[in-house]
Amino acid sequence: MASLFPVILCGGTGSRLWPLSRSGQPKQFIEFGKNSLLTDTLARCARLEFTRLIAVSNEEHRFYVKDAVRQLPAADIILEPTQRNTAPAIALAAFRAQEAGEGQALLLVLPADHRMAPEDVFVEAVHKALPAASEGRLVTFGITPTAPATGFGYIIAGAALSDGLYAVSRFQEKPDAATARRLLGSGTALWNSGMFLFRADCYLEQLQRFRPDIFDAVSTAWQGRRTDGRFLRPAAAPFRACPTDSIDYAIMERTDRAAVMPLQLHWNDLGSWEAFYEISPHDENGNARQGDVMVEDCRNCYLHSTGRLLAAVGVEDLTVVETRDAVLVARRDRVQDVKRIVQRLEQERRPEHAQHPRVCRPWGSYERLAEGERFQVKRIVVEPGEELSLQKHYHRAEHWVVVGGVAEVTLGEQVRLVTENESIFIPQGSLHRLRNPGKLPLLLIEIQTGSYLGVDDIVRISDAYGRTATPSEPSADHKETQ
């Protein structure tokens, strides 16, 4: 009997989609339209009968993933101590699936940030590939190309097998334009989607054969894992010692068990702003607009506003993306180079590379509204039933004004309710906690004043979400709220 385990790979920073995607909140967790890309991926999996879902993420993003899978009765979140690419990540999921499955454990490996339609084609292809995977094939899914794309790797299909499958002849790195045109004309080349279906034991067997160093390191890390509710934490030291490699290099390009299932559908890995231009509706002048955008005599532009009015006059072939704290302007044929800006921001330790002005936390979110010498103002939203850590500050005081909902405030030994249009003062050095006891989100404005407002002035005494009791973790902006 075979058990199916969708494995959602939630790593990656999406640096080419800066300033919307940032390391603290990458593209897979951002809502594009009504849902995030991760939510869409989970909905895709819901159309298949599976035993248990496994998400592979990291400590920084664990609460985004936990929130996304909260409605699933059977879901695990494996937290990598550090990123080591897809081969080790999938190995962790394979070890988990072998423990949780009955009989054969089949892994359906999916990136968290792809978009495809119609999804019926994908679901049907998975069902068709199940017998071959159950028999020991390592199946990958190739997208029938519609253009000579240079941004994707390719799979060259070989001899026909059964049920629409083909043997893999070879893999092709991202080609230049001439090679891409030649591949498109061959009729045997498919875009490499990064999606796979195979038995967990077959994957681990092939990994041990071709990359025993990765297998041994991941096996040791898994044996030393800790369990915290839905979170599974492999032992950090052996996993950090694990070599970095992708499943393609480590196994798929070496194994004689590889097979490819062609998928003829609209697919995009949304890896750059040009990809968003391609999937967006265009006006009569070829402009794709998102948000509050006004144009005059513009052609073939991608214009994206998240809040403020974005106005463009007399420009062509530009990508312009506005967020509250940063604006990107680039030629459409240079958007792949956005990651160079992100690298510079990181080198200069600027906060814009990591966090948005609005930052999600396990209890809700906060947004920086204003800051200056000796003060900072934030808008805080606490979800129903959630609470911030019990904490104190040595160098700042806080004033909370409730705008909506009801706040339960612990201040020293006292606990009191603060309702809409009321406020409370938190003196410097006082032990305090904020909780939402109601059924509606709690909205308040926080005014911080003091000589120092850095994150290392947050001293956590206790925390419902298992975060460290001291503020030793680095903050991108050094002004992180509780």
User: Is 374 a domain residue?
Assistant: yes
Same domain (yes/no): 140, 27: yes
Give the pLDDT confidence score for residue 230 in this predicted structure.
85
Element (H, E) at 425: strand 423-426
Quote the pLDDT of residue 253.
94
**Cα–Cα distance for residue pair 30/359, rounded to 1 Å:** 11
Q: Which pLDDT value is given to residue 425?
A: 97
At residue 468, the pLDDT reads 62
User: Is residue 348 in a domain?
Assistant: no
Note the Cα 372 to chain centre separation in Å.
Answer: 32
Range of the domain at 403: 357-462
> Under a CB-based contact definition with an 8 Å cutoff, are residues 52 and 69 in contact?
no
The verdict on 192 and 125 lying in the same domain is yes
Residue 64 forms part of a structural domain: yes
Mean confidence (pLDDT) of the chain = 91
| Closest of 129, 199, 188 to residue 162, by C-alpha | 129
- Same domain, yes or no, for 227 and 293? no
Residue 438 structure tokens? 């109601």
Assign residue 423 the CATH number of its domain. Answer: 2.60.120.10
β-strand partners of 445: 379, 401
Task: Based on the fold, state whether residues 148 and 238 are members of the same structural domain.
Answer: yes
Helix (H, G, I), strand (E, B) or coil at 444: strand
* pLDDT string in tens for the chain (482-residue length): 579 999 999 987 778 899 999 888 888 888 776 788 999 999 999 999 899 999 999 988 888 898 888 888 889 999 999 999 999 999 999 999 999 876 689 999 999 989 888 999 999 999 999 999 999 999 999 999 998 988 889 999 999 998 889 999 999 999 999 999 999 989 899 999 999 999 999 999 999 999 999 999 999 999 999 998 889 999 999 999 999 999 999 999 999 999 999 999 999 888 889 989 988 999 999 999 999 999 999 999 999 999 899 999 999 999 999 998 999 999 999 998 999 999 999 999 898 888 888 888 889 989 889 889 999 999 999 999 999 999 999 999 999 999 999 999 999 999 999 999 999 999 999 999 999 999 999 999 999 999 998 877 888 898 888 776 544 333 333 344 45
| Residue that finishes a domain, picked among 229, 248, 268 | 268
Q: Which two tokens stand for residue 297?
A: 């005599």
Number of domains in the chain: 3
Say if residue 285 is in the same domain as residue 366: no
Element (H, E) at 133: helix 119-134
Structure tokens at 451: 């000589």
Residues 307 and 452 in one domain: no
SS3 354: coil
Domain annotation covers residue 346: no
Can you give the pLDDT at residue 268? 86
Tell me which of 237, 268, 299 is where a domain ends.
268
d(CA 419, CA 423): 8
Residues ≥6 apart with Cβ < 8 Å to 422: 401, 402
Q: How far apart are CA 299 and CA 316, in angstroms?
A: 5
Supply the pLDDT for residue 476. Answer: 35
Rounded to whole angstroms, the Cα distance separating 208 from 467 reads: 35
415 and 371, same structural domain?
yes
DSSP letter (8 states) at residue 373: T
The answer to whether the peptide bond before residue 6 is cis (omega within 30 degrees of 0) is no
Residue among 236, 255, 169, 201 nearest 91 (CA): 201
262, 324: one domain: no
Which amino acid type is present at position 177? A
Q: In the structure encoding, which two tokens stand for residue 440, read together?
A: 């509606």
Report which DSSP code applies to 478.
S
Instruction: Confirm whether 404 is domain-assigned.
Output: yes
Backbone angles phi, psi at 387, to 5 degrees: -150, 150
Looking at residue 471, its pLDDT comes to 43
Amino acid at 347: Q
378 and 454 together in one domain: yes
Q: What predicted TM-score, i.e. pTM, was given to this entire model?
A: 0.84
- Are 162 and 50 in the same domain? yes
Six token digits for residue 150:
């240079």
For residues 414 and 335, give the distance between their C-alpha atoms in angstroms, rounded to a whole number: 54
pLDDT at residue 479, rounded to an integer:
41
| pLDDT of res. 337 | 92
Specify whether 13 is located in the same domain as 96: yes
Q: Is residue 175 part of a domain?
A: yes
DSSP E strand stretches across 148-245: 154-160, 166-172, 189-199, 226-228, 231-233
Q: Indicate if the alpha-carbon torsion angle 46, 51, 52, 54 is positive or negative.
A: negative
Residues 113 and 159 in one domain: yes
Pairing of strands 35-36, 31-32: antiparallel
Is 231 domain-assigned?
Answer: yes
Q: How far apart (Å, rounded) are the C-alpha atoms in residues 222 and 92?
A: 7
Would you state the pLDDT for residue 312?
98
Query: Domain of 185: which CATH number?
Result: 3.90.550.10
3-class state of residue 207 by DSSP: helix
Is 92 inside any structural domain? yes
